[in-house]
Structure 1
């Protein structure tokens, strides 16, 4: 299943800078793993914000939940999920 996911990160101002640096490094590594596995198929930064728009390709909502929960920055994330399906007018359907 494909999911459109918007992730907004809200790190508390009093967060230790070294802790944030470590979390960010771990977040990048986890995102890389998921992309190489083909689960995180698209990742775009929202300009001017600590946010991204992503497409995940996972088996079901439970796998998406587990995947998002595995992200190191998850405690600071506000997530909006939209399930996607193919549009009948899409040229991709003819492939």
Structure 2
């Protein structure tokens, strides 16, 4: 069996997804613990060399099948909202 090697970004992503699943399971099993009415998951995009964050935001918008509005794109998954935000310097004077 070969070991899988992950970059720090991939490892962080896997840990985040695992944590979300564990939280969902925990809330499902422990019905006596109050659950939030809603959850916002926010990804702050970083500009990469040769790839401005606003371009990344447009790519995310296409994957989410949502429109970019004021430097943000969002998609609701029931009571959970995923939101990606471009850095302020790239917002083209549009507050999020």
Q: TM-score range by the shorter chain?
A: under 0.3
Whose radius of gyration is greater, 1 or 2? 2
Q: TM-score, normalised by structure 1?
A: 0.27
Could you say which structure has the higher strand fraction? 1
Q: TM-score, normalised by structure 2?
A: 0.26
